[in-house]
Amino acid sequence: MMESRIESKNGIEYMAMQCRKHKAVLTDFGAVGDGKTSNTKAFREAIAKLTPQAADGGVQLIVPPGNWLTGSFNLTSHFTLFIQQGATILASQVESEYPMIPRLPSYGDARFASLIYGTNLTDVVITGNKGTINGQGKSWWLKYRSGGFNLTSRPLLIEILFSENIQISDINLIDSPMWNIHPVYCKNVIIKNIKIDAPIDSPNTDGINPDSCTNTLIEDCSVTSGDDCIAVKSGIDQFGIATAIPTQQLSIRRLTCVSPDSAGIAIGSEMSGGIKDVRIEDVTLINTQSAIRIKTAIGRGGYVKDIFARRFTMKNMKYVFWMTGSYKLHPIGFDPNALPEIRNINYRDMTAENVTISAKLEGIKKDPFTGICMSNVTMALSPTTKKLQWNCTDVAGVTSRVKPEPCSLLPSKGATMDCHFPMDKIPIESVVLNKCTA
């Protein structure tokens, strides 16, 4: 993939899905970058005034160096938000700066709008040359821990709904009040060269959460957080089942993750709309609770199938393989007879050092997880390792060249078998970005 930002005498060159005919600078709309003055009105006014030009070759709003305090603002179509190096968008800590918005169709609760929000959009780019969005999440975390919010009500940093042709790239995100990036019900999404940082004890600060999306590429990202680095979702229980929009055609590659209490990549637990055709490769995990954790429960319905992972390098892991069929959180009115389908899960070419537990694989009684495949996996155990390395119930599959020796429910099929990884590309991987100038 080409380098995504280049300095030139004509400005800052960067790579994007689309370039823009019109551009403006945030200060054109009265913004003050002192870190104290609220710029919510300036951001909203800038986008409102630029929107009429968007159909004429697109518009670009440049955030220059400075500290730009703001509450929630909405994006428009055919639009680029460019955050320059030395610029920081500071999220307001005033709750009234984040309007309450209706629940998502595949979830159950109303919630705060995210800091940067958009719905029913086409052709949106959020990028920069390593500019920053600072969520200033500490006050939100403290109030959440004291019982002031329910699980889903804190603002996210970036949330895009019912949209297509979305690019989020080349920026730093720090201290989000909750999740960092949440594309939901979107198509054709690129998320690349993103650095996400939050304290490892911060609550629910997931890095990137593709949710009921089709044709998504996440590449060259680094996440340190208090929750899952990437969490793949598609709605919860009766809401997700009724909405029935799966996450599919998802490629995750060249991810670095640190998350001592959560997963490198979580699949679920909100997976009631279905998750399929996920390719994950070239992942580095350090001090992370588990590599890929599949989370579901009776009542979820939906499916997780056709998951392919390869070339993982791991150090200091509590678990390597973890599947859970007993995730207990449910909304009122869920169907206790809705059983999830978990099948065709493939892992290959992985090494791990300082591992406490090789695998914890817990399917559902009378609804086992099937088609699990592991090949060419070597796990070196820590000095404090547990005696039981493979805890397997209600699962079925095969293995080859896996150390320590797997449980009897995953028998060896000899020294030559390799688990499948697709050789074709999903469409978004073939998109060629354009050289643009800010």
Would you name the residues annotated as active-site residues? 227
Helix (H) or strand (E) holding 43: helix 40-50
Helix/strand/coil for 240:
helix
| C-alpha span between 32 and 371 (Å, rounded) | 57
Instruction: Quickly list H helices, 131-216.
Output: 138-145
| C-alpha span between 164 and 161 (Å, rounded) | 9
Residue 196 bridge partners (DSSP): 173, 223
| C-alpha span between 360 and 346 (Å, rounded) | 16
Tokens representing residue 354 in the block:
């300082």
Lay out the sheet containing 73-74: strands in order across: 73-74, 116-119, 158-161, 181-184
Question: Half-sphere exposure of 407 toward its Cβ, with a 13 Å CA cutoff?
Answer: 19
- The DSSP code sequence of 295-326 is E-BTT--SEEEEEEEEEEEEEEEEEEEEEESB
Residue count of the chain: 438
Residue 128 bridge partners (DSSP): 83
